[in-house]
Amino acid sequence: MTLQNRAELRGARRVVVKVGSSSISGDNVAQITPLVDALAAAYGRGTEIVLVSSGAIATGLPFLNLDRRPTDLATQQAAAAVGQNQLIHRYQEELDRHGIIAGQVLLSANDLALDAHRVNAQRAMSRLLGLRILPIVNENDTVATHEIRFGDNDHLASMVARLIGADALVLLSDIECLYTRPPSEPGAEPIPLVPFGAELEGVEFGEPGKAGVGTGGAATKASAARLAADSGTAVLITSTPNVARALDGEDLGTWFEPRPQA
C-alpha cells in the first residue's frame, strides 16, 4: 500500500526502522529499551517490522579497550565482530519482555547488487516476516571492504525497504526533523513535508562537522529518503526518542511523499 500521510503509519503493513550508532551505544545505550518497546507495540498491532541497526563497531569498542572508532579496516572489522554479538544480545534481551524473537541478517553490498544474492536475501527476509520473526539488519562489517560497502546504513535501510516492498521507512537520528539550516542557527525552520520530486538543498543535522561514532548525516538521510520514496516507500525522518509516536502516526518529523502509484 502507498501511504498518503503520517497518520496511516499506524496501520502500515510493513515498516523498516533504521537507528544509528549514536542513538543506541555509549551514553545512549539505554535508548534500546524504549526503541524496542515502540517496535513491539507496532508488531502487536500486526505491522511487520524490520529494524536496520547500526552500532556494531561502536558497541565493540569498549570490549577491545578502545575509546574511539579505529581508522584501520582490520580493527574496524574486529570491533564489528565483537560488537555485533553484543548488540544482538541486547536487542533480544529487550524483545524477550514482549515474547518476540529476533533474526540477525547481515548484508554486504554484493548481496543486493547481484541478482541471485538479492533474490535469496529477499526470500529469507520474507520468510522471517512470515514466521513473525523481527529481522535485525546490519551491514556485514566484519567482511566489508572500503571499496565495496554501502557506506552508511541509511542507504542500506532504503535498499532493504525496496527489497521487501515496505510501506514506510522511518529514519531515526538525534534531531526531530530536517531544518532549512543547522537548527542551532538563527532562522532555522523545520521542514515538515517534502513533496515527491521536490528539491531539497543545504539541509544539515546538528552541528556541522560534529564528530561521532556514526557515518551518516542529514545529506545521507535525505539521499536515502529520496531513493526509498522513488520506489514508492513513504519516509519519515525524526529523532529516536520519537519512535513510538512516529509509529503511532503522530504529526512529527519530516515526511517524504512516495512516488504516486501509476
Contact 143, 108 (CB under 8 A): yes
Query: What is the rounded distance in angstroms from the CA atom of residue 83 to the CA atom of residue 150?
Result: 19
**Residue 153 marked ligand-binding:** yes
Burial bucket for residue 115 (CB in 10 Å: 0-12, 13-18, 19+): exposed
**Residue 54 marked ligand-binding:** yes
Query: What is the rounded distance in angstroms from the CA atom of residue 104 to the CA atom of residue 138?
Result: 8
**Residue 173 marked ligand-binding:** yes
Strand partners, 132: none
C-alpha dist (Å) from residue 38 to 32, 95, 190, 245, 248: 10, 11, 24, 8, 9
**Residue 174 marked ligand-binding:** yes
Binding positions = 18, 54, 141, 153, 173-174
Binding positions for substrate = 54, 141, 153
Binding positions for ATP = 18, 173-174
